[in-house]
Structure 1
């Protein structure tokens, strides 16, 4: 018997959050390592760009609380 991606997704989403996190981690680890390195390099560059913006004063950091409040105002 073959399981569809939709069936697999439905089953995965019914798992407790800790099990979903473990599954997601294992799926990400199964991806092409070369692609993973590229993605990691892109995230590193983005983090450094953001750090530099804060250090230069062109962007002001906000607290976690303020970030969550802004997100809640945007989302329905």
Structure 2
């Protein structure tokens, strides 16, 4: 296993890439990030709201600003 000292010897761009690679490896297996019952319920509420009115809300291009 590589330690923190090893990571800190990497350049900033290498550390960013490492973080991205780690994140990508986590999300490749959706069940590896378990949701609580409350999180599942919230997602269900949001999906139901979307199905009721797909035009409600704001597009990503507006939200991210």
TM-score, structure 1 as length reference: 0.39
TM-score, structure 2 as length reference: 0.43
Higher relative contact order structure (alpha carbons within 8 Å, sequence separation ≥ 6): 2
